[in-house]
Structure 1
Amino acid sequence: MLFVAGLLGGAINSLAGGGSFIMFPALLFAGVPPVMANASNTFACLPGYVSGTIGYWRHIAPHRNKLIAYCVIGLIGGYLGAETLMRVSDAQFAAIIPWLMLFAVVTYIFGQRINRWVASRSSGSRNAARAGAFGLALLLLMICFYGGFFNAGLGIILLAYLALAGFDDIHAMNGLKLLISVVVSVVAVVRFAATGSIAWMEGSIALAGAVLGGFLAAYFAHLIPARVLRGCIIVYGVGLTGYFFWTTYA
């Protein structure tokens, strides 16, 4: 089950994003405790972020002047989010899973509209400067904190942030999104591993499936209509969120 979930999750991450909606619940259903399942999901998603960053490097390279700041903020935010997760009990985390899933699914559904809305009100670097470098840095810190605490939906939120920061090249935005995700996930995984909070066997099985799924999806991407796939992910995500609300509060 975990390998198939990783296979599907890796393929979905490669094609449309949202693979955590499959891998995280699969880890829960496999009997991994909630906090450990969340940490293991971050571990399983990491190779996909790394390979994607390498693939987009030529689009990232022109923005070298921003990389140090983004990586430092990602390290700090990711660590703080992971540290907070380590201080939450399984019962407490289980109680907020439905709300985290709801936030991630709503962000996924309306992410493209949010990105277009933000981009339409951002006129490049002038608006970014007007918003204030400190404000943008603080916003990115909050986003990276979320990513260290709960990985699902991070990529879509980062795209909206990059649009607000004045970027308009979608390839550069995707590359920077993946790079920041790598930084956040690496520091979170190190923190989780230090306290024995990763289910290595279950997480590695999902990771292996995700690597293969991402490769196969990239190879056969032309055969899969992105709109149909996105619609299926939304239906699944909404149903899964309803399930978590029902099991938690019913």
Structure 2
Amino acid sequence: MIVAGFIAGAMNALAGGGSFVSLPALIAAGVPPVQANASSTVALFPGGVVSAWAYRDGLGPVGSVPMRAMLVTTLIGGMIGAALLLSTSSSTFSFLLPWLLLCASLALAFGRRLGEVLRKRWRIGAPAVLAIQLLLGVYGGYFGGAVGIMMMAVWGLLDTRDLKSLNAPRTLLVSAANSVAAVTFAVAHAVRWPETIAMLVAAIAGGYGGAQLGRRASPALIRTGTLLVSAGITVAFFVRTYGPMLSHH
């Protein structure tokens, strides 16, 4: 748990995708899938809050949409997503998990590029952004893999603002969805605390270490490593979930 937490925290600080390590580690430790996802969210959210605090000076509206409206929308979505997860059976979540991991892997691999391509062709207004933000909040509360990259891709369609300046709102809103989900999971007793606390402390240390490494390491190397980890774990979960079915047939 400690090693997985440290690696997940470092990955989140470097390029995102920390849940690709924390969630499988919890499942491997014998935590049921729904509880593992809830525990992973709780373990990784303090690192995100620390990042959001570090970016606080850069907070502002996302294009023409006020930050308060984005925040309220994301919190509502996160609460809905968390409630949906708690109402999902472990067998259903196990069936969905490889597809959720695949969705997050594709977002990590192509999200930024897709955002740039769409941006050249379309512009969307504030109501559409808030509607999509609500859905991303639901996804963030339910699973959340690569949700920050998805947000950036959508926000890029809103205006021609420098995407780097959207890092602060992205970090805050991802943390908002995770925080409300974490509180919901804790209140619903869906968290396995011994494993979660070990991972949480290690993830904070990993987040700090990852930030230091990020200043020195090549961005291309970091991105390649992240994509290899996410692709490998996604393939492993497809084999684990669907392999027995195929061999049976």
Post-superposition shift, 1:243?
A: 1.1
Post-superposition shift, 1:61?
A: 4.2
Correspondence for 2:106: 106
Gaps of 5+ in 1: none
Correspondence for 1:197: 190
Please tell me the residue identity of whatever aligns with 1:33: P
Q: List per-residue Cα deviations over 1:118-161 (Å, max 9, x = no partner).
A: 33345xxxx3xxx3332221111111110010021111111112
Correspondence for 1:53: 52
Correspondence for 1:187: 180
Identity %: 36
Correspondence for 1:8: 7
Q: TM-score, normalised by structure 1?
A: 0.91
Is the aligned partner of 1:94 residue 2:94? yes
Aligned length, in residue pairs: 242
RMSD over equivalenced CA pairs, Å: 1.7
* Contact 1:56/1:171, CA 8 A, preserved across alignment: no
| Residues 201 and 158 of structure 1, relative CA distance in 2, 3 Å threshold | same
Q: Which of 233, 238, 242 lines up with 2:235 in the alignment?
A: 242
Q: TM-score, normalised by structure 2?
A: 0.91
* Contact 1:119/1:168, CA 8 A, preserved across alignment: no
- Give the Cα–Cα distance (whole angstroms) in 2 for the partners of residues 235 and 75 of structure 1: 32
Q: In terms of mean alpha carbon deviation, does 99-108 or 211-220 score higher?
A: 211-220
| Residues 59 and 119 of structure 1, relative CA distance in 2, 3 Å threshold | farther
What SS is found at the alignment partner of 2:190? coil
Q: Which of 198, 219, 224 lines up with 1:226 in the alignment?
A: 219
Post-superposition shift, 1:225?
A: 1.7
Q: In terms of mean alpha carbon deviation, does 194-203 or 226-235 score higher?
A: 226-235
* Contact 1:59/1:171, CA 8 A, preserved across alignment: no
Post-superposition shift, 1:101?
A: 0.5
- Give the Cα–Cα distance (whole angstroms) in 2 for the partners of residues 148 and 161 of structure 1: 18
* Contact 1:56/1:172, CA 8 A, preserved across alignment: no
* Contact 2:78/2:177, CA 8 A, preserved across alignment: yes
* Contact 2:31/2:192, CA 8 A, preserved across alignment: yes
Q: List per-residue Cα deviations over 1:47-92 (Å, max 9, x = no partner).
A: 1211111111111147697121011101110011111111101111
* Contact 1:46/1:182, CA 8 A, preserved across alignment: yes
- Give the Cα–Cα distance (whole angstroms) in 2 for the partners of residues 164 and 24 of structure 1: 32
* Contact 2:156/2:163, CA 8 A, preserved across alignment: no
- Give the Cα–Cα distance (whole angstroms) in 2 for the partners of residues 62 and 192 of structure 1: 29
Post-superposition shift, 1:10?
A: 0.9
Is the aligned partner of 1:69 residue 2:69? yes
Gaps of 5+ in 2: 244-249
Please tell me the residue identity of whatever aligns with 2:8: G
